[in-house]
Every structure is written in structure tokens, then in C-alpha cells.
Amino acid sequence: MKAVVLYGPGNVAVGDLPLKDLAAGEVRVKVAYCGICGSDHHKVSGKKNTRPVTYPVALGHEISGVVAEVGEGVTEFKPGDRVTVDPNWGCGKCEFCKDGKKSFCKNSRGVVKGMAEYINAPVENVYHIPEKLSLRDAALAEPLACCLRGADLLGVRHGERVALVGLGAIGTIMIQLIKSAGAGEIVVIEYDETKEALAKELGADVFICSKDEEKITEYAAKYNVDKVIECVGNTGAQLSALSVAGRGATVVMFGVADSAKTTPISLYDAFIKELTIKTSYVNPYTTERAVRVLASGMLDTSKIIHRELTMEEAAEEFMNPQLSRFGKLLVKID
Ligand SMILES: [Zn+2]
Ligand SMILES: [Zn+2]
């Protein structure tokens, strides 16, 4: 079958991969759309990933599609059903799974290699999507499920002052979640000053270009920021997040950090402010809610999805990223 294949670090092309036999308890999904994730770029660059990579492998894990066939014993789905799939599988048997922490499963594996014509997924990872939710929007279920985990950990209360660092694809989802959670004032800190209009459209009250470090410090001195969500993963963004955080603030470092780098933070500054610093790891038990959030129309997905690409264009984008910083890219699988 046709797929966008990673053959080794820095080597992506549209190629042909074998379609595996459908096992008992699996659902074969004909993929409609697959989103490009920052972690796909990490994989391509050969950076450390949450799981080791074996080549060749199809990129992508954020999919929507239609059930093509069901394996033995599957009664919950039938051919033609519209679905999305949680890529993170947990065994249900290890100490973490048994303790309701399946994201830390000792036997976890990725079950969606999504930039391909078909995937075979364990039935427990497949989710029905309602009629009113388009396949295009449903491809946002996985990144949204991850964002819901981060938003839960952030725990915005009505009226709080919230800072969001980084208005990339994740930032455009997160700001809408923060807004709908009742944030009283939202400040967006973003490297690219041309994103100010988008930030305001999505509910930002204040926009600060992250290159203007003094402005961040000034704002933080004047207004106490209760919650901070960092959506980039680089050192600069992490330091901006800590510097804008107010007294008693909770900071969620949502962006995936570079495994080869460390960030020098002042624990004295954190101490003075009594900060709570959290990280957010994947999407435990949040896919069901993600589907419902998307179906509710709560999110303006036109502001999240930047462009649709063909599989060929996606392979080019991986080799030479141009568009990825503007928002979510969806690969239309043909
Ligand atoms: Zn993702
Ligand atoms: Zn487990």
C-alpha cells in the first residue's frame, strides 16, 4: 500500500509498504486524513522519541477514516463506520494500566502508522465519530486529546489570568480550550509577531512578541498570571513561560522538549513565586472527550488546520519544512 515512509533519519519518501494481515480483535481502517505532528519531525530528524523507531515505517499517528474490515471477535464496528484511532495502546495488565495510568504502560506501543492507505488497530483504540463531525476535523482528535490532558493539568478556573506561550498548531487548540474553560484574561507570547491578529481572533487579550523579553517581565510585574501553558518545547519558550508566571502560578510545560538539551532555570525564582511546574504526557483516557469537543463545534477548526497536503507534498514537507510552523497540516490519503 501507498504510504509516506521514513526509511531512516532524514530520509522520507512516498513508497510502498506491505499491508499486514488483520488479526483477531483488530479493525482495519481506510485512512482519510492524517495530521502532521511535531513528533513526526522529531522522528525524521532522528531525535529521541517516546518509543524506539524501526525502519521503514509510515509516519503519522493522528488519523480519521472509515472501517474497511473487522477481525475475528470484533462486534463494536462494521465496514463503513467512521472512526478515529488513539495511537497509544496499553496492555491493561501491567501495574500502571491496573492503576489507571495506561500512558505509562510497560508494554505500550504505537498502533497507528497513519500516513498510509490502511492501518490495523486494536479495537480498544478505535472510536466512533458522530455523523455531524467531518472526517477532516476528526483527524484533530489525537492532538486535541493530548491538549485535553494538558488543559486538565493546567486546571483553569473562571476568571483567571492565563498565559499561553507559542501559537503553533497546538497553541491554536489550547487557546480555545483555555477560553472555553473560562479564562478571564489571556496573554499570548509568540515568536512570530505576524500571528498577533490570529491570537486576537482566538481570544487573546494581550499579545507579546517573545523576542521582546523586557515586555514579558514588565507584564509579569504588573499583572499576576495564574496559569501558564508552554506549547513550543524549546529553551526560549520554557524560560518565557517561567518568567511570565505569577505568584502561586501553575506552569504546564506542554511542548515536547529536545532530549539532547537542558534548560537552566532559577529554582530561587520558582521558590519566591511558589510555582507548580508540571509536564503533560500523551493522552490517557481523553480521546472520548476529544471526539465530543470536536462534535460540539466548540473549537473553530478553520483556525487550527492550516492546509491539506497530498502524500507527495507531505514527504517534501518533511525533507524541507516550510509550512509546519503556521498551524496543523493534514495529509489527505488517496
Ligand atoms: Zn500528535
Ligand atoms: Zn500496561
CATH number (domain holding residue 86): 3.90.180.10
Last residue of a domain, one of 264, 279, 294: 279
Does any domain span residue 198?
yes
User: pTM for the whole thing?
Assistant: 0.97
More confident residue, 320 or 52: 320
Same domain? 263 vs 312: no
User: What does the block give as the cell for 24?
Assistant: 483477531
Report the run of H or E that residue 288 belongs to, with start and end. Answer: helix 287-296
User: What does the block give as the cell for 209?
Assistant: 512578541
Nearest by Cα to 43 from 31, 51, 35, 32: 51
Whether 50 has a pLDDT exceeding 80, the answer reads: no
Same domain? 154 vs 130: no
Task: Provide the pairing of β-strand 57-58 with 2-8.
Answer: antiparallel
Does any domain span residue 298?
no
Ligand number nearest CA of 93 is: 2
pLDDT digits (tens, 9 = 90+) for 272-295: 999 999 999 999 999 999 999 999
Same domain? 116 vs 66: yes
288: number of Cβ within 10 Å: 14
pLDDT digits (tens, 9 = 90+) for 182-217: 999 999 999 999 999 999 999 999 999 999 999 999
Does any domain span residue 297?
no
pLDDT digits (tens, 9 = 90+) for 94-115: 999 999 999 999 999 999 999 9
Give the distance (Å) from ligand 2 centre to CA of residue 124.
Answer: 13
Q: Work out the pLDDT band at 326, boundaries 50, 70, 90.
A: confident
Which residues, 6 or more positions from 77, have their beta carbon under 8 angstroms from its beta carbon?
A: 27, 67, 70, 83, 123, 126, 128
Same domain? 257 vs 312: no
Whether 334 has a pLDDT exceeding 90, the answer reads: no
Last residue of a domain, one of 279, 296, 312: 279
Give the distance (Å) from ligand 2 centre to CA of residue 105.
Answer: 4
Whether 252 has a pLDDT exceeding 80, the answer reads: yes
Same domain? 120 vs 243: no
Does any domain span residue 17?
yes
User: What does the block give as the cell for 69?
Assistant: 474490515
Percent of the chain residues topping a pLDDT of 70:
99
Ligand number nearest CA of 108 is: 2
Instruction: Say what the pLDDT of residue 304 is.
Output: 97
Give the distance (Å) from ligand 1 centre to CA of residue 23.
Answer: 25
User: What does the block give as the cell for 243?
Assistant: 518568567
Give the distance (Å) from ligand 1 centre to CA of residue 142.
Answer: 6
Does any domain span residue 286?
no
Nearest by Cα to 28 from 60, 69, 74, 65: 69
Same domain? 193 vs 98: no
DSSP-assigned letter for residue 125: G
Give the distance (Å) from ligand 2 centre to CA of residue 212.
Answer: 45
Last residue of a domain, one of 279, 295, 313: 279
More confident residue, 129 or 47: 129
Instruction: Say what the pLDDT of residue 52 is.
Output: 82
Ligand number nearest CA of 90 is: 2
Q: How far is CA 261 from CA 234, 235, 252, 258, 331, in A?
A: 9, 8, 18, 5, 30
Whether 36 has a pLDDT exceeding 80, the answer reads: yes
Ligand number nearest CA of 106 is: 2
Whether 48 has a pLDDT exceeding 90, the answer reads: no
Give the distance (Å) from ligand 1 centre to CA of residue 217.
Answer: 32
Same domain? 114 vs 212: no
Same domain? 12 vs 134: yes
Same domain? 11 vs 134: yes
Same domain? 95 vs 188: no
Does any domain span residue 124?
yes
Does any domain span residue 293?
no
Q: Determine the structural domain holding residue 205 and report its residue range.
A: 146-279
First to last CA, the chain: 11
Report the run of H or E that residue 13 belongs to, with start and end. Answer: strand 11-16
Instruction: Say what the pLDDT of residue 51 is.
Output: 80
The phi and psi torsions of 30 (rounded to 5 degrees) equal -85, 115
CATH number (domain holding residue 265): 3.40.50.720
Instruction: Say what the pLDDT of residue 47 is.
Output: 80
Total domains in the fold of the chain: 2
Percent of the chain residues topping a pLDDT of 90:
95
H-helix segments, 274-310: 287-296
State the average pLDDT for the chain: 96
Same domain? 103 vs 154: no
Same domain? 229 vs 266: yes
> How far is it, in rounded angstroms, from Cα 171 to Cα 233?
12
> Which amino acid would we find at residue 326?
F
Does any domain span residue 290?
no
Between 311-319 and 38-45, two packed helices, what is the crossing angle to 10 degrees? Answer: 60
